Structure 1
C-alpha cells in the first residue's frame, strides 16, 4: 500500500463467546468482529495486514492484546480523533479497542514482541468461584498448596523444549524461553499463575497450568512437570486446563529503533 500508516491497536475482550482470535468461516471471532467494524468505517478491503501478537484460543480472554493494521494515510488522518470512540459504537460489548497509535512501518505486532504475559485464575474454595468471577476463574474442588505450586513452577522456568505441553505444528519449533512463572494467592483466596515467555505454542499455558494443578492438589510430585521436558512429543498425562481461566494481560516490545531487528530475529528463530 502506497502512502499508508501503520497503526497499533490495543485490544481487550471477553473470550467466552468467541471461537478464538483468528477469522474463521461461519464462526464468531475477535478478528472477525474487529475487521467488520473497521470496514464499516473505512470501506471493504481498506484495512490491510491485520496481525496479532498472540492468537488466543476459543474461550481465552485478553486485557492486553496487541495487533496492527495498515490504513491509507488520508483515511487515518480523517479518523484519528474519533476512531476509538466510533469503534466502541460499532463493536459488540465483549470486545473493545482501547487505543489506536500510529507506529513505524517496522513495527510488527507478532514478530517485534519480546514477551507475552498471561494470568490464570483458580478458586479452590469448597463453594467454587464467586458468581461475578465465574467467567474468568475456574473452580478446583481439591485444596491447592501454594508452596507445591511454586516448586513445580520453578522447574519450568528457562529455555526448554516444551513439546510435552504443546500441540505440535509441522515445521514449527516447540523450544520456548519462559522468563517468569509464579503463583500467588490473592486476598480473596483466588490463586493466580503468572506466565511470561518470548512466545507460546498452542495450548502451552493451559497445559502447564493443568500439570501444576495436579502437583498443587497432591496427586503429583513437585518435580514431575519438569521431568516431562525430556519428552519430544505431547504427553497424554497432561490435562489441558479450561480456557476461561486464562487471560492475556500484556505484550512487550523494544524501543522503536529495535522493532525491525527484533522482528527479523524472531522470524529466524520460529522458522
Structure 2
C-alpha cells in the first residue's frame, strides 16, 4: 500500500468569482473548494479532498486561507504549486505549500483566525477593486467605531452576531484583537479571534457602521452583545469588503502566519506601525 503524505497550503482567492468556499452537491455554481480539488486531483493523478481553516461565504475573499490535503503522490513544493496554479481559474492561486505532519489539520489545529473588512468611505463609488471593498458614501468616524469595537474584546457569547444558519456548537468565542484604522477614504477593521460564527464579522460591521455614522452611540455595541439576540443587532453588512487574511497555528507545524493581506495594504501598514 502506498504511503500517504499530508500537505498544507496557503491559498489566495477573489470571492466575487465564486459561490463561496464549500462545494455544492446539487448546484453548478463555482466554488473555491471545487476548483482546488479539481486542480490538485489532476496534479496528484487521483481524487483529492481539501479541508480549510475557515469556510467563507459567497463574495468573501481570502489572502491567506490555509488548506490541507492528503496524497500518495510525491512532488516538490514548487511542482505542486505550479501544477495546481496551472489548473485553477485565475481568481484562485496557491501562494505557499509544504509537506506537514499527518496530525496537522487546517481547521482543528488553528488557534486563531484573522479577518479584515475594507471600506471605501468616498462620496463616489470606485471603479477599481469595486468587488474587494465595501463602498459606504456617508462619512464614518473611525474613532467612534474603535470605541464600540472595544466592547467585543475578550471572551463573550456572540449570539447577537450569529446568523440563523450557523452550525457552530457554541456561540462563545474569544476576541483577541479588533482594530479600526483609516488612511484617507480607506477604513480597515481587523479582527482576530479564536474562531468566528457564521456572518459574525459582517454582523459586527452592521453595528460599527451606524456608530461610525453617528446614528448610534459606541455603547450600543455592549447593549447588542449583552442582549444575546440577533434581533438586537443591525443589518448584515455586504461581503464585498471582507477578507480572510490569516490563521495562527502552534509553531511546531511551521505554517507562515505573516504578513497578513490584502497585500496591497502591506506597504501602507509598514509605514504606520
TM-score range, shorter chain: 0.7 to 0.9
Counterpart in the other structure of 2:52: 52
Q: Secondary structure at the match of 1:244?
A: coil
Please list the CA deviations of residues 222-247 of structure 1 after superposition, one character each: whole Å capped at 9, or x if unmatched.
Answer: 11012112223322642111011100
Written as runs of structure 1 = structure 2, the 5 A alignment for 1:75-90 is 75-77=73-75, 80-90=77-87
Distance 1:171 1:86, change over 3 A: closer
Matched, 1:185 2:185: no
In the alignment, which residue of structure 2 is the partner of 1:239? 235
Q: 1-side partners of 2:176 and 2:251: how far apart?
A: 19
What is the SS of the residue equivalent to 1:227? helix
1:170 Cα deviation after fit: 5.6
d(CA) in 2 for partners of 1:164, 1:235: 7
Moved more, 249-258 or 97-106: 249-258
Task: Give the distance between the partners of 2:191 and 2:207, measured in 1 at CA.
Answer: 14
CA contact (8 A) 2:161 2:233 kept: no
* Alignment correspondent of 2:14: 14
Which stretch of the first structure deviates more once superposed, 162-171 or 215-224?
Answer: 162-171
- Is the 1:104–1:256 Cα contact (8 Å) retained in structure 2? no
Paired with 1:229 and 1:40, the residues of 2 have a C-alpha distance of 47
With over 3 angstroms needed to count, the CA separation of the structure-2 counterparts of 1:171 and 1:99, relative to structure 1, is: closer
Does the alignment pair 1:119 with 2:121? no
- Shift of residue 207 of structure 1? 0.5
CA deviations on 1:176-216 (whole Å, 9 max, x unpaired) are 10011110102x42000001101000000010011100100
Partner of 1:263: none
1:165–1:238: 8 Å Cα contact kept in structure 2? no
Match of 2:100 in 1: 103
Match of 2:170 in 1: 173
SS in structure 2 of the partner of residue 6 of structure 1:
strand
Aligned pairs for 1:144-163 (under 5 A) are 144-163=140-159
Distance of 2:101 and 2:84 partners within structure 1: 23
Structure 1: how far apart are the matches of 2:167 and 2:130?
36
CA drift of 1:171 comes to: 6.9
How far off is 1:80 after superposition? 4.2
Aligned residues: 252
Match of 2:138 in 1: 142
Give the drift of 1:4. Answer: 1.1
With structure 2 as the length reference, what TM-score do the two structures score? 0.87
Q: 1:93 aligns with which of 90, 109, 115?
A: 90
- Shift >3 Å, 4+ stretches: 168-171
Structure 2: distance between partners of 1:227 and 1:247: 27
Find the counterpart in structure 2 of residue 212 from structure 1.
208
Q: Residues 117 and 189 of structure 2 are in contact (CA less than 8 Å); yes or no, is this contact kept in structure 1?
A: yes
Partner of residue 217 from structure 2, selected from 210, 215, 221? 221
* Deviation of 1:148 (Å): 0.6
> Please, which moves more after superposition, 224-233 or 173-182?
224-233
- Segments of 5+ residues of structure 2 without an aligned counterpart are 256-273
CA distance in structure 1 between the aligned counterparts of 2:129 and 2:208, rounded to whole angstroms: 22
Give the TM-score of the pair, scaled to structure 1: 0.88
Within a 5 Å distance, the mapping from 1:18-29 to structure 2 comes to: 18-25=18-25, 26-29=28-31
